[in-house]
Amino acid sequence: MRYSANLGFLWTELPLPDAIRAAAAAGFDAVECHWPYDVPADQVKAALDETGLPMLGLNTRRGAPGENGLLALPGRQADARAAIDEAVGYARAVGAGTVHVMAGFAEGEEAHGVYVENLSYACAQAPDLVILIEPLNRHDAPGYFLRTTDQARAIIEEVGAPNLKLMFDCYHVGRTEGDVTTRAADLLPIIGHIQFASVPDRAAPYHGELHYPTVFEAIERLGWDRPLGAEYKPGGPTEATLGWMKRSRAS
């Protein structure tokens, strides 16, 4: 199994290029990030080239404080599309293959219509990239527009774009829906990336409600051969939390 370090949570005390180098030194196979836009893309690309790690993906901006994304917000279409254009441009500049477009806090039919329109725009603007949507659990993000994998699947089918895929985060699915391995198998045809963290505390895996040796084995049996995203909160030095990766690779 291969793993990607999510630098939105891991090595956050370091500048992004140095965090990429730290991930390489720790043995990760790839990196991903949240919002890299304050760092010039050429500096990130140089660190990726130096280490040989691919950047798997990044997020669109969250918008104003408290919005947590823009794509489902009525009246904010211009801002949402500017955020999409920015993320697509940055992804191309650093060689990232995916962009997670964040929906924001909204509900109702108008929000649904705006979200579908903006997703169609994103997919059309970036046919060379995978556009990801991710349901967030109701405990961490109450009121977030995209809440379940069933809702995400229906929207992916409605948009009908071949490059629109699901970000399957074992942590969010575990907190909201449970039955993570069965859900992963059922949704496999539309999954574009998989992430993980312990449930319910979002710390390093191998404790809590999800038994990750079983989860990783099940994902591998599905034929998934891309790096899984370690998107957990280390609660201290990242290096001190990496025992899970050593155990996984030793098994």
**pTM (predicted TM-score):** 0.97
Annotate the chain with DSSP letters as a single string: --EEEETTTTTTTS-HHHHHHHHHHHT-SEEE-S--TTS-HHHHHHHHHHHT--B-EEE----STTT-BSTT-TT-HHHHHHHHHHHHHHHHHHT--EEE--B-B--SHHHHHHHHHHHHHHHHH-TTSEEEE----TTTSTTBS---HHHHHHHHHHH--TTEEEEEEHHHHHHHT--HHHHHHHHGGGEEEEEE--TTT--SSSSSSS-HHHHHHHHHHTT--SPEEE----SS-GGGGTHHHHHHHH-
The pLDDT, as a whole number, for residue 88 is: 98
Q: How high is the pLDDT of residue 14? A: 98
List, as one string, the DSSP characters of 39-81: S-HHHHHHHHHHHT--B-EEE----STTT-BSTT-TT-HHHHH
> Looking at residue 40, what is its pLDDT?
98
Q: By the 8 A CB rule, do 165 and 191 touch?
A: yes
- pLDDT score recorded for residue 250: 82
CA torsion sign for 9, 10, 12, 13 is positive
Annotation says 239 is catalytic: no
Considering the segment(s) 3-250 as one domain, its CATH architecture is Alpha-Beta Barrel (3.20)
CA distance 131 to 164: 5
Convert the pLDDT of each residue in 95-111 to its tens digit: 999 999 999 999 999 99
Sheet strands side by side (includes 164-169): 30-32, 3-6, 228-230, 191-196, 164-169, 130-133, 98-100, 57-59
Bond preceding residue 36 cis, omega within 30 of 0: no
The C-alpha atoms of residue 167 and residue 240 are separated, in whole angstroms, by: 27
In this prediction, residue 249 carries a pLDDT of: 87
pLDDT at residue 117, as a whole number: 98
Selecting among 13, 134, 158, 239, the annotated active-site residue is 134
Domain boundaries, the chain: 3-250
> Which residues of the chain are modeled with pLDDT < 70?
none
C-alpha neighbours within 13 Å on the C-beta side of residue 45: 10
Catalytic residue among 50, 109, 157, 231: 231
Query: Look-up: residue for tokens 């949240």?
Result: 34
| CA–CA–CA angle 81, 93, 24 (5° rounding) | 120
In the annotation, is 231 catalytic? Answer: yes
